[in-house]
């Protein structure tokens, strides 16, 4: 009688997902607070190059799958988005920031998932890799921002997808504290603290990294 060979059980592959939240780079739609101080054209130029740098730094990294989550939804197929790298585009959908991020966390395929903003001049692959490493030992990882918010949030998404965004006061000094209050009893980790750029003062503080972006010539396509 022929000997049967037992098959090794299949292992579920959990791919890592990195989501970059992006707004359509249209004059007057992005960086309006910054635009009131430095001019709408300069603010748009800054945002375009900041998003382009994020795509160049992060989307080509093979350690994760990069997703560009776009607002508004109707612009997902627009020609002005970054086109290089391993990146797919998805609509953010309706609702406040919490509802949109929750939808992304719930809808992506299995695997730890990190969401970041697209206006973080100092952000690079090292910061994202550190955050994914933290998720190996935690349920949730945050990248703090100096203003009381956060530029990065990641969920392990196993055994279930957590829902940490109820009642969060977005665009306020309470955003991180409110989110943490929804995660009582969960293992929390923190990655690097980085700043986004919303005002002229933010830009001055980030000048070493942001200055080269805002004064570069712009182009029709990001990359």
Say if residue 219's pLDDT is above 70.
no
Give SS3 for 23: strand
pLDDT band, very low/low/confident/very high, at 41 (cuts 50, 70, 90): very high
Kindly report, residue by residue over 145-191, the tens digit of the pLDDT. Answer: 999 999 999 999 999 999 999 999 999 999 999 999 999 999 999 99
Task: State how far the Cα of 78 lies from the Cα of 120, in Å rounded to an integer.
Answer: 23
pLDDT band, very low/low/confident/very high, at 210 (cuts 50, 70, 90): low
Kindly report, residue by residue over 76-91, the tens digit of the pLDDT. Answer: 999 888 765 568 899 9
Domain ranges of the chain: 17-214
Q: Sort 200 into a burial class: Cβ within 10 Å, 0-12 / 13-18 / 19+.
A: middle
pLDDT of 5: 46
What is this structure's pTM? 0.88
Fold for domain 17-214?
Spore Coat Polysaccharide Biosynthesis Protein SpsA; Chain A (3.90.550)
End-to-end CA distance of the chain: 64
């Amino acid at each position: 009688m022929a000997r049967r060979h037992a098959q090794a059980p299949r292992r579920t592959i959990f791919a890592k997902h990195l989501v970059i939240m992006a707004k359509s780079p249209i004059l007057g739609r992005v960086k309006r607070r910054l635009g009131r101080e430095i001019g709408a054209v300069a603010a748009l130029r800054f945002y375009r190059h900041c998003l382009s740098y994020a795509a160049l730094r992060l989307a080509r990294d093979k350690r994760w799958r990069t997703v560009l989550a776009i607002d508004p939804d109707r612009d997902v197929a627009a020609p002005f988005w970054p086109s290089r790298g391993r990146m797919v585009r998805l609509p953010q959908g309706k609702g406040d920031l919490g509802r949109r991020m929750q939808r992304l966390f719930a809808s992506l395929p299995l695997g730890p998932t990190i969401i970041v903003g697209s206006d973080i001049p100092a952000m690079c692959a090292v910061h994202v890799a550190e955050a994914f490493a933290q998720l190996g030992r935690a349920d949730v990882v945050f990248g703090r921002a100096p203003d009381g918010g956060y530029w990065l949030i990641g969920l392990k998404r196993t055994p279930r997808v957590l829902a940490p965004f109820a009642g969060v006061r977005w665009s306020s000094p309470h955003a991180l504290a409110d989110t943490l209050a929804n995660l009582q009893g969960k293992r929390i980790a923190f990655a690097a603290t980085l700043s986004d750029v919303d005002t002229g003062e933010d830009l001055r503080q980030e000048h070493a990294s942001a200055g080269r972006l805002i004064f570069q010539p712009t182009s029709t396509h990001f990359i």
